[in-house]
Amino acid sequence: MTSSKPSKQRKLLFQAPKHRQRRRLSARLSNDLTGRHRIRRVPL
């Protein structure tokens, strides 16, 4: 992100297209779960 202000960062995040929101709002899985499900990240 280009701005350092949190309010502008939140605004850009919520106004972003859905495919970019999904990429930014995702959590990494542990090594055990990654091996079991073969997925590294899960969208929140």
Q: For the chain, where are the alpha helices, taking DSSP H only? A: 6-15, 18-24, 31-37
Supply the DSSP symbol for 16: S
In a domain? residue 27: yes
Q: Which parts of the chain sit beneath pLDDT 70?
A: 1
User: Residue 24: its pLDDT value, please?
Assistant: 86
In a domain? residue 1: no
Cβ–Cβ under 8 Å, residues 21 and 10: no
The domain tally of the chain equals: 1
User: Residue 1: its pLDDT value, please?
Assistant: 62
pTM metric for this prediction: 0.54
In a domain? residue 2: no
User: Residue 26: its pLDDT value, please?
Assistant: 92
Q: What is the pLDDT of residues 10-20, one digit of tens each?
A: 999 899 999 99
Question: Could you list the residue range(s) of the whole structural domain that residue 37 is in?
Answer: 7-43
Cβ–Cβ under 8 Å, residues 20 and 43: no
User: Residue 2: its pLDDT value, please?
Assistant: 80
